């Protein structure tokens, strides 16, 4: 069978000569598909049909296809070229079947049809060509251009597997997670093979993560395809042939989910029901994080911390990159630079800073090093097909690498964090887990992996290695922190990685082009199921000038993960490094992040609980309008705040497209009509931001770190509108999993206005009661003079119109209905 440990071939235990390094790199860059004549094999006609509950098997005599009804809107297709399916195991989809009300199989003249209430999957009897149709509109959403096929893999066993769909003339494509370049994937070709892509470029591919999920939009409707295959995979969106969209892989099974829309948002939410959402992060993780390769010794770390506090620039986390370790040995400390880490971490914590540390997968080969010894004794390190250990050079020198696809290894690794947790470390940053190896790029193909008992080579495990590493970190921390929410970051990952941690986009560059790349990248990650994402603010390599850094801080204020980071050979990169006026502007935006924290946290909850993406590209707001309104540089954070970052050097204004509805300029309170373009002033201290009319945007007082002060009252900014708009405020303890037992408070505000007045209604859900008692209202944009205000029918007279013409008053937080009369 394929993907058992392949027999040894051309194996040497370490790569030494530069020629060998070159050959290895070439081998990695040239997938085997390029080297062999292609003999593609197709299915015959359908000879036999078997039904087993929600699974339907169609056979041509030897090959079989399984069509499985997952839910009303999701159907999975699998192909077994010789009739035997591979083990049904996926790291991405823990549970396949969801709730499905009714489904049926029908035989028609030319087809078999498996249908749910919503969609129908047709299998053509003559050749197994598959199509998906929406029942109501009878619109064909996705259709094979040629039936699925395969090719024997003579070198490794198993098959190359292929699917080719029709690409409609007006069809556009989104998703695929970690890709650089334009948001629309149409006309491009991609490869998924997790890669350490230092200083990547605009169209460079592949990058660090693999998310083989895309959304197609045509005829104003959207559908998704999730090709759950961890091997090196490929996607072509009408590049090779303008009328075809194809995806294929170097091994594994042709297995994909069709996910129905018709809205892009539906597709993303349904993809999220398969692969999971991000757990609620500790609230502090939504604050500002300061990182650098590396802050050391202790004195420097303290100086940075003091730098924030003395300048009143909020910050929640300080990072220790690899230099805190002893010779880059993970789970050790350099005692010269950090003589008493526990004390230091405590002192930082007293000052409101969380300490986050780097942990890499490469373990130094050193018999005097306990981690190496434990891994060796327990046989936890990856081996090659000839049974030698997989060795490669990374930061510590010669290293071996834990097999994170082995559950025992994950358990062990998770427990290794004990000492760090006992010292007070609050978060862990997993890097280099593509896995990256100096010289050769990554592991050779023949490295063997446990793959949770479904053993296979590195060809199968490569793309999940990083995800399994951060899974082990997350699970370990969760246990060690006694169910406090862990904070983890990973560089590499595969679909479903969002269940275990947040991501940053890797080693970017301090350039305006990278500001644009990062803006699109985070949006794309968000619609690909990975919501908690950020860039290295300022750029990792190279030197940003003051303007670029400030514009990046502004964009970063609305990145779900907000962290500045830079390489060690660059100049200092703290929010104050560029002097005035930049320091003050940077402070204003970081403060804005803290003011908006209750909103950001509520948006996170909407993601966690309901699967909404955090960042929503404009195309998601107006998919029916893609061609004429589609600007890829704007997005909404949640559904209430439209962010229009300034991405051009020297710009003092920018064109902004406002989607449907009424929008209020966050800075000036000017009300503008949507579905139109506007030229908006954008001097350096001003990033255009708009709030959807009718929104309630909650604000906390500015704090230097999350939890610095007790909150006495919450500011509710209410933006007038004459149509009804609902908003949420989610609050809870902020660092436990009590929300899983409904210990949270979810408030819904419904705002509706007219020329006669404005009403705000509140409803509540959940078992948590916040400590504060009062709401402080700031009603923006009232088009009438106020005559009377009632809170639950009791008139209040204590109100003012402030100097910005906003109505200000307070009420108890438990009101049910507020009425403002003209």
Closest CA to 587 of 685, 683, 706: 685
The least distance separating ligand GLC from the CB of residue 322, rounded to whole angstroms, comes to 4
- By CB under 6 A, tell whether 322 contacts ligand GLC: yes
Lookup: tokens for 700:
């906390």
Which of 301, 358, 603, 658 is the binder for ligand GLC (CB under 6 A)?
358
Residues 290-309, mask of contacts with ligand GLC (x by CB under 6 A): ---x----------------
Strands (E), 571-724: 615-617, 635-637, 641-643, 653-658, 662-665, 671-673, 676-681, 689-692, 696-699, 713-719
Min separation Cβ 321 and ligand GLC, Å: 5
Nearer to ligand GLC, 506 or 531 (CB): 506
Q: Shortest approach of ligand GLC to residue 209 CB, angstroms?
A: 13
- Specify the DSSP class assigned to residue 474: H
Three-state SS for 311? helix
Closest-by-Cβ residue to ligand GLC is 293
Report, in Å, the least distance between residue 515 CB and ligand GLC: 18
Which three-class secondary structure state does DSSP give residue 369?
A: coil
In the complex, what is the shortest distance from the CB of residue 551 to ligand GLC, in angstroms, rounded to a whole number? 21
Q: How far is CA 499 from CA 94, 272, 471, 495, 610, in A?
A: 11, 10, 8, 9, 14
Nearer to ligand GLC among residue 294 and residue 721 (C-beta)? 294
- Cα atoms found within 13 Å of the Cα of residue 315, Cβ hemisphere only: 31
Question: What distance in Å separates the CA atoms of residue 698 and residue 730, rounded to the nearest whole number?
Answer: 10
Write each residue from 460 to 499 as x if it is in contact with ligand GLC (CB under 6 A), else as -, in one continuous string: -------------------------------x--------
**Closer residue to ligand GLC, CB minimum distance, 433 or 695:** 433
Number of residues that bind ligand GLC (CB under 6 A): 9
Task: Give SS3 for 525.
Answer: helix
The end-to-end CA distance of the chain, in Å, is 77
Residue 192 burial (CB count, 10 A): 30
Helix, strand, or coil here: 396? Answer: coil
Q: Which of 134, 321, 434, 639 binds ligand GLC (CB under 6 A)?
A: 321
Q: Least distance in Å: CB of 392 to ligand GLC?
A: 15
Q: Is 623 helix (H, G, I), strand (E, B) or coil?
A: helix
Alpha-carbon distance 453 to 107, whole Å? 39
Instruction: Rule CB under 6 A: say whether 507 interacts with ligand GLC.
Output: yes
Which of 168, 175, 113 is closest to 143 using CA atoms?
168
Name which of 562 and 718 has its Cβ closer to ligand GLC: 562
User: What residues form DSSP beta bridges with 752?
Assistant: 759
302-328: b or e for each residue (b if 16 or more CB lie within 10 Å)? bebbebbeeeebbbbbbbbbbbbbbeb
Q: Which of residues 172 and 430 has its CB atom nearest to ligand GLC in the complex?
A: 430
Instruction: Tell me how far, at minimum, the Cβ of 506 lies from ligand GLC, in Å.
Output: 6
**How many secondary structure helices (H) and strands (E) does the chain include?**
14, 53
What's the half-sphere exposure (Cβ side, CA atoms, 13 Å) at 390? 29
Question: Known catalytic residues?
Answer: 431, 434, 507
User: What number of other Cβ atoms are within 10 A of residue 186's Cβ?
Assistant: 18
For position 434 contacting ligand GLC by CB under 6 A, the verdict is no
State the minimum distance, in angstroms, from the CB of residue 204 to ligand GLC: 15
The smaller minimum CB distance to ligand GLC, of residues 293 and 594, is found at 293
> Which pair of structure tokens corresponds to residue 481?
């922190």
Near ligand GLC by CB under 6 A: residue from 392, 501, 506, 613: 506
Binders of ligand GLC among residues 557 to 576 (CB under 6 A) are 565
* Positions that interact with ligand GLC (CB under 6 A): 293, 321-322, 358, 431, 491, 506-507, 565
């Amino acid at each position: 069978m394929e993907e058992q440990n392949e027999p040894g071939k051309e194996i040497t235990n370490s790569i030494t000569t530069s020629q060998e390094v070159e050959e290895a790199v070439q081998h990695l860059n040239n997938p085997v598909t390029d080297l062999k004549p292609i003999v593609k094999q197709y299915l015959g006609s359908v000879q036999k049909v078997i039904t087993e509950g929600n699974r339907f098997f169609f056979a041509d005599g030897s090959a079989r296809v399984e069509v499985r009804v997952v839910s009303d809107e999701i159907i999975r297709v699998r192909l077994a070229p010789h009739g035997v399916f591979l083990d049904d195991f996926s790291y991405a989809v823990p549970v396949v079947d969801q709730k499905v009300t009714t489904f049926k199989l029908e035989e028609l003249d030319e087809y078999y049809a498996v249908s749910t209430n919503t969609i129908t999957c047709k299998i053509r009897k003559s050749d197994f060509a598959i199509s998906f149709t929406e029942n109501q509109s009878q619109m064909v959403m996705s259709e094979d251009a040629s039936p699925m096929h395969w090719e024997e893999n003579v070198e490794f066993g198993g098959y190359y597997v292929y699917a080719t769909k029709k690409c409609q003339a007006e069809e556009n494509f989104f998703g695929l997670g970690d890709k650089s370049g334009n948001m629309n994937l149409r006309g491009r070709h991609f490869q998924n093979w997790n890669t350490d892509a230092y200083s990547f470029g605009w169209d460079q591919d592949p990058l660090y993560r693999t998310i083989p999920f895309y959304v197609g939009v045509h005829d104003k409707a959207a559908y998704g395809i999730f090709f759950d295959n961890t091997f090196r995979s490929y996607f072509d969106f009408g590049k090779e042939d303008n009328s075809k969209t194809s995806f294929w892989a170097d091994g594994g099974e042709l297995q994909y989910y069709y996910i129905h829309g018709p809205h892009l948002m539906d597709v993303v939410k349904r993809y999220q029901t398969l692969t999971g959402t991000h757990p609620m992060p500790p609230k502090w993780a939504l604050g500002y994080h300061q990182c650098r390769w590396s802050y050391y010794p202790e004195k420097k770390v303290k100086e940075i911390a003091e730098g924030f506090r003395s300048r009143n620039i909020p910050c929640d986390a300080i990072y220790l990159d690899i230099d805190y370790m002893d010779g880059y040995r993970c789970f050790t400390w350099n005692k010269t630079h950090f003589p008493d880490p526990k004390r230091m971490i405590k002192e930082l914590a007293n000052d409101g800073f969380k300490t986050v540390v780097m942990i890499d997968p490469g373990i130094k080969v050193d018999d005097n090093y306990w981690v190496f010894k434990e891994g060796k004794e327990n046989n936890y390190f990856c081996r090659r097909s000839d049974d030698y250990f997989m060795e490669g050079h990374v930061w510590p020198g010669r290293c071996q690498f834990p097999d994170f696809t082995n559950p025992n290894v994950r358990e062990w690794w998770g427990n290794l964090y004990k000492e760090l947790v006992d010292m007070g470390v609050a978060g862990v940053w997993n890097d280099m887990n593509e896995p990256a190896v100096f010289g050769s790029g990554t592991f050779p193909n023949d490295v063997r992996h446990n793959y949770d008992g479904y053993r296979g080579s590195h060809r199968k495990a490569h793309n999940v290695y990083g995800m399994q590493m951060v899974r082990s970190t997350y699970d370990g921390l969760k246990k060690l922190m006694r169910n406090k929410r862990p904070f983890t970051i990973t560089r590499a990952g595969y679909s479903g990685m969002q269940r275990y941690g947040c991501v940053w986009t890797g080693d970017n560059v301090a350039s305006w082009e990278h500001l644009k790349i990062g803006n699109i990248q985070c949006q794309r990650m968000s619609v690909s199921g990975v919501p908690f994402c950020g860039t290295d603010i300022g750029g990792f390599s190279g030197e940003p000038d003051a303007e670029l850094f400030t514009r990046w801080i502004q964009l970063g204020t609305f990145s779900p993960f907000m962290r500045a980071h830079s390489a060690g050979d660059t100049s200092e990169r703290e929010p104050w490094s560029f002097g005035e006026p930049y320091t003050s502007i940077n402070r204003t935006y970081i403060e804005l992040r803290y003011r908006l924290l209750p909103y950001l946290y509520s948006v996170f909850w909407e993601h966690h609980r309901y699967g909404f993406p955090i960042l929503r590209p404009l195309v998601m707001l107006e998919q029916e309008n893609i061609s004429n309104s589609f600007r890829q540089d704007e997005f909404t954070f949640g559904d209430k705040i439209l962010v229009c970052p300034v991405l051009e050097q020297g710009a003092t204004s920018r064109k902004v497209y406002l989607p449907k509805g009424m929008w209020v300029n966050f800075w000036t309170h000017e009300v503008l009509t949507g579905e139109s373009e506007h030229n908006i002033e954008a001097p350096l201290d001003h990033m255009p931001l708009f709030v959807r009319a009718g929104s309630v945007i909650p604000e906390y007082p500015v704090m230097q770190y999350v939890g610095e002060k007790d909150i006495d009252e919450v500011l509710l900014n209410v933006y007038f509108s004459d149509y009804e708009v609902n908003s949420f405020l989610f609050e809870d303890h902020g660092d436990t999993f009590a929300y899983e037992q409904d210990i949270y408070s979810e408030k819904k505000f419904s705002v509706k206005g007219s020329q006669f007045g404005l009403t705000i209604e509140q409803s509540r859900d959940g078992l948590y009661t916040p400590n504060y008692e009062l709401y402080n209202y700031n009603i923006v944009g009232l088009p009438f003079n106020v005559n009377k205000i009632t809170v639950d029918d009791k008139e209040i007279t204590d109100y003012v119109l402030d100097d910005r013409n906003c109505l200000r008053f307070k009420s108890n937080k438990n009101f049910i209905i507020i009425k403002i009369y003209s």
